[in-house]
Amino acid sequence: MADQVLSLDSLAVHAGREDLVGLGVHAPPLDLSSTSPLPDIGLGGASYESMATGGHPVPGGGTVYARLWNPTVARFEAALARLEGTEESVAFSSGMAALTAAVLAAKTETGGRHVVAVRPLYGGSDHLLGSGLLDVEVTYCAPAGVPAALRPDTCLVVVESPGNPTLELVDIAAVVDAAAGRPVLVDNTFATPVLQNPAAHGAALVLHSATKYLGGHGDVVGGVVACDPAWAAALRRVRAVTGALLHPLGGYLLHRGLATLPLRIRAQQGSAEKLAGWLSSQPSVRRVFFPGTPEGDPTGLIGRQMRGPGAMLAIQLAGGYEQAVRVTGRVRLFTHAVSLGGVDSLIQHPAALTHRPVAPDARPDADILRLSIGLEDADDLRADLARALA
């Protein structure tokens, strides 16, 4: 089986579990140790040195301390890397911790202090990059504005596709081309590795808020960056020094979530397609934002870059903000809540919530609601929306 090329569905179930038979167990062990016994000072010290500088544990040297390495988290990282088609991945305590580490790593790796941020981005990402906390200068731009935004000290180009909350698709290969050798980070949270592998289009760093689809059950907060070994070492160094660790229980739950990810995405996407079609015929809905419509994919990226439109959509309401208040107050099967990507459907108002920290001129309009379609029956979801929109 080692030589067999496995499909994504098989990898989702089996990746990161290669050591289990040798351990004599069937489910991945949840290792909660904060420290681990040292074989001797020399080997323990060598292992410490290796991990503190971004490497792996030294054979026979142990994992020393949980801020440096955790086997349960490492299994999730190995599995996610396989799904993204990268050699490694590095997990963090949240998506924002992952983005923080990526920016810090990009600064130390390239020596630059300038970031190009392609809008629209998740509100928290947009805010973090411009907050001054990371000591970077940021130029915000549209995808076509990347070449003009570049500077000699640009250390990172950040882009998201599909974009949050209005699902704009960005041509990743075109941004990589325009970045002219600067590393490009793609936030792949909405697409997941089931629908899109940005590394195959030249992205150096592929970021996920694992809180969303990877976990998929609304019960874990985490982040992860898939990349090559050199970037992984830089990211692990940042993580070891700053301590933004994914808890082992989070690693366990995320690894478990990956097994059903392809199945969940396909089912949720199928319902999103049905609902997008129905919503576009509703008089109280002015516009549906969904990559599965011709207007949602004007340059034909689905099929070329993405394997499907995903399960997120947004609607612009004819009745404006007042209608948004009514709809979010009336839904019963949908939960009025931020976040996305879980087995249950959520609806929220980006301008007031997820995109609140974004500068007013770049904030989504107040008549827009974002929907994350879950695993409920699509007809039940439609009936819930019909009642709420009436």
Ligand X SMILES: *Cc1c(COP(=O)(O)O)cnc(C)c1O
Active site residues: 67, 122, 187, 212
Distance CA 159, CA 183 (A): 11
Cα–Cα dist 307/194, whole Å: 8
Q: What residue ranges bind ligand X (CB under 6 A)?
A: 94-96, 122, 124-125, 160, 164, 187, 189-190, 209, 211-212, 221, 223
Number of residues in the chain: 390
Which residue in the block uniquely carries the two structure tokens 């808890």? 247
Alpha carbon 24 to its chain's center: 33
358: tokens are: 């974004």
Q: Which is nearer to ligand X, 66 or 167 (CB)?
A: 167
* Beta carbons of 143 and 122 less than 8 angstroms apart: no
Smallest gap from Cβ 336 to ligand X, in A, equals 17
Cross-strand bridge partners of residue 370: 314, 348
Q: Which is nearer to ligand X, 89 or 189 (CB)?
A: 189
Closest CB to ligand X: residue number = 95
CB of 172 to ligand X, least distance (A): 15
Closest approach of ligand X to the CB of residue 383, in Å: 27
Residue with Cβ nearer ligand X (230 or 353): 353
How many Cβ atoms are within 10 Å of 339's Cβ, its own excluded? 16
CB of 120 to ligand X, least distance (A): 10
Nearer to ligand X, 86 or 372 (CB): 372
Measured from the CB atom, the residue of 207 and 259 that comes closer to ligand X is 207
> Which are the contacts of 294, defined by CB distance < 8 A and separation ≥ 6?
none
Q: Residue 317 and residue 295: Cα distance in Å, rounded?
A: 17
The structure tokens 């969940």 sit at: 264
Maximum C-alpha span of the chain: 72
Closest to ligand X by CB, 94 vs 348, is 94
Residue 247 CB, nearest distance to ligand X (Å)? 13
Alpha-carbon dihedral angle through residues 143, 148, 152, 158, given to the nearest 10 degrees: -10
Least Å distance between CB 223 and ligand X? 5
Burial class of residue 102 (count of CB atoms within 10 Å of its CB; 0-12, 13-18, 19+): buried
DSSP string of 162-178, one letter each residue? S-TTT-----HHHHHHH
Cα(56)–Cα(64) distance, integer angstroms: 11
